[in-house]
Amino acid sequence: MPFCEGFLWGGAVAAHQLEGGWNEGGKGVSIADVMTVGGYGKPRRITDGVVAGENYPNHEAIDFYHRYKDDVKLFADMGFKAFRTSIAWTRIFPNGDETEPNEEGLKFYDDLFDELLKYNIEPVITLSHFEMPYNLVTKYGAWRNRKLIDFFVRYAEVCFKRYKDKVKYWMTFNEINNQASIDSPFMGFVNSGIIFKDEPNPWQSLFQAAHYELVASAKAVKIGHAVNPDFKIGCMIGYEPTYPLTCRPEDMVLAMKDMHKRHFFSDVHCRGHYPSYATTEWERRNLDLDITEDDLKILQEGTVDYLAFSYYKTNIVTTDKSKIDKDNKDEFSTGVDNPYLKKTDWGWAIDPKGIRYTLDILSERYELPLMIVENGIGLHETRENEQSDGMIHDDKRIAYFQAHIEQMKKAVEEDGVDLWGYMPWGCIDLVSAGTGEMEKRYGFIYVDKDNQGKGTLNRKPKKSFYWYKKVIASNGEDL
């Protein structure tokens, strides 16, 4: 049997993408609350605070805040062993800079975790998933400011202490490495509350913010271990292997350099020091970073217990500029397609073998346990796709997961990767982070709501719900 006993089969979401209740229970405004709905080829806008008349999809999302008991029951029906979600920082510290937490917010997660534990579902918790308090952006300049370290650490400590007997698996920052794509306003804003391309020196701002976040993460890891030595505290990166378009050595070097941008963050989280390719880049760019001796010590002391990552696709780079499609509608794309792969409706290359490649690369590089905390395919689905049995037949999703799980098996069985769990993304339809759409659906469970925010919010299992239930029951044998 390739997957270990107690393998964490489950699903993943993030607070801002499903909870709703954006101004209930004492919750403050988060950066996700000021992002409008966008679409494929139409970036989400970041507004100056919450503006009347705008469509903010995260405000209501799928109303998990009020419906979580029914949803958890559905997850339990599927046989989930684990459920990955995040704590909305703004439910605990509405403005981010308070000295005392908001009891009503803490209570909400107590109830949610109790509900999960009632069904023996292990909560797997991200502390910061694209939802920092908006006040920290406007009042302190977001992660440009060293003070953010203390605000984050205070928040982390409160969560660790409060949930020390309910939550064992933690992650600090979601996909912390996305911001290395400094040209994307979205990536910088969701990671750090900063639009790097508008900064006087974008690279200076990026590496400074990243440093403060890495120190904050390391401090949190240290404190977490002191609160409960049984905690497993990981980092989380978005992993998209970069392939060279051709075997020209120049393309190969370009691909390697591109991967430095992905590895930089996990290198520090896992190894506790800055890699030389980064420190030499800082010198080359003449950056003047605020990094103290104490900081470097903390980085060393706060390395993670495991590495969690998301995997959706692979990317291509080329030194041949004529091959780059500048009109590519996906704002996160390199503009080059892999001729061997098919793409989703949102232009993401479907590459199951890439997940094995990812598992192997990360396992070899860090020799740490790994956890896949996001993987999945966004599809257009409406109730009109229902078959006579009244179910949406999402065969494409099933095929996607079958092919990816096959490759995970090979990584474990043939290559000896230590894999702890698999939590497909958006196990229930929710608001897309990148586009703000409801209609970019990932779920095993359909939610009746469209991009305009209309719908009953009713839930309905899709065909993949029953398929995944069988996969979990057989520990990945019956695909």
Give the residue numbers marked as catalytic. Answer: 175, 374
Which stretches within 163-248 are classed as H helix? 185-192, 202-227
CB of 4 to ligand BG6, least distance (A): 25
Q: Is there a contact between 28 and 134 (Cβ–Cβ < 8 Å)?
A: yes
CB of 5 to ligand BG6, least distance (A): 28
Of the pair 68, 130, the CB lying nearest ligand BG6 is at 130
The residue among 427, 431, 373 whose CA lies nearest residue 80 is: 427
The residue among 257, 265, 123, 258 whose CA lies nearest residue 192 is: 265
CB of 174 to ligand BG6, least distance (A): 5
Of the pair 60, 157, the CB lying nearest ligand BG6 is at 60
Where is 237: in which H helix or E strand?
strand 232-239
The one among 440, 441, 449, 462 contacting ligand BG6 by CB under 6 A: 440
Q: Decide: is 451 part of the binding site for ligand BG6 (CB under 6 A).
A: no
Residue ranges in 120-139 that form contacts with ligand BG6 under rule CB under 6 A: 130
| Residue 141 to residues 132, 135, 151, 194, 363, Cα–Cα distance (Å) | 12, 9, 13, 8, 36
- Bridge-based pairing state of the strands 419-422 and 459-461: unpaired
The one among 434, 443, 461, 476 contacting ligand BG6 by CB under 6 A: 434
| Residue 340 to residues 314, 315, 347, 350, 419, Cα–Cα distance (Å) | 12, 12, 14, 10, 28
Burial of 173 (0-12, 13-18, 19+ CB in 10 A): buried
Of the pair 190, 214, the CB lying nearest ligand BG6 is at 190
Q: Decide: is 205 part of the binding site for ligand BG6 (CB under 6 A).
A: no
Q: Decide: is 172 part of the binding site for ligand BG6 (CB under 6 A).
A: no
Cα–Cα–Cα angle for 213, 217, 220, nearest 5°?
140
Of the pair 432, 451, the CB lying nearest ligand BG6 is at 432
Q: Decide: is 173 part of the binding site for ligand BG6 (CB under 6 A).
A: no
Q: Decide: is 175 part of the binding site for ligand BG6 (CB under 6 A).
A: yes
Q: Decide: is 174 part of the binding site for ligand BG6 (CB under 6 A).
A: yes
Q: Decide: is 88 part of the binding site for ligand BG6 (CB under 6 A).
A: no
Work out the number of other CB atoms within 10 angstroms of the CB of residue 253: 12
Cα 16 → chain centroid: 12
Q: Decide: is 436 part of the binding site for ligand BG6 (CB under 6 A).
A: no
Of the pair 351, 374, the CB lying nearest ligand BG6 is at 374
Of the pair 192, 310, the CB lying nearest ligand BG6 is at 310
* Binding track, positions 352-391, relative to ligand BG6; x by CB under 6 A: ----------------------x---x-------------
Of the pair 154, 440, the CB lying nearest ligand BG6 is at 440
Stretch binding ligand BG6 (CB under 6 A), from 102-110, 158-166, 255-263, 426-434: 426-434
Residue nearest to ligand BG6 (CB): 434
Q: Decide: is 238 part of the binding site for ligand BG6 (CB under 6 A).
A: yes
Q: How far apart are CA 287 and CA 425, in angstroms?
A: 37
Stretch binding ligand BG6 (CB under 6 A), from 23-31, 152-160, 211-219, 428-436: 428-436
Q: How far apart are CA 245 and CA 301, in angstroms?
A: 40
Stretch binding ligand BG6 (CB under 6 A), from 203-211, 240-248, 413-421, 429-437: 429-437
Where is 78: in which H helix or E strand?
helix 64-78
Q: Decide: is 32 part of the binding site for ligand BG6 (CB under 6 A).
A: no
Q: How far apart are CA 446 and CA 462, in angstroms?
A: 6
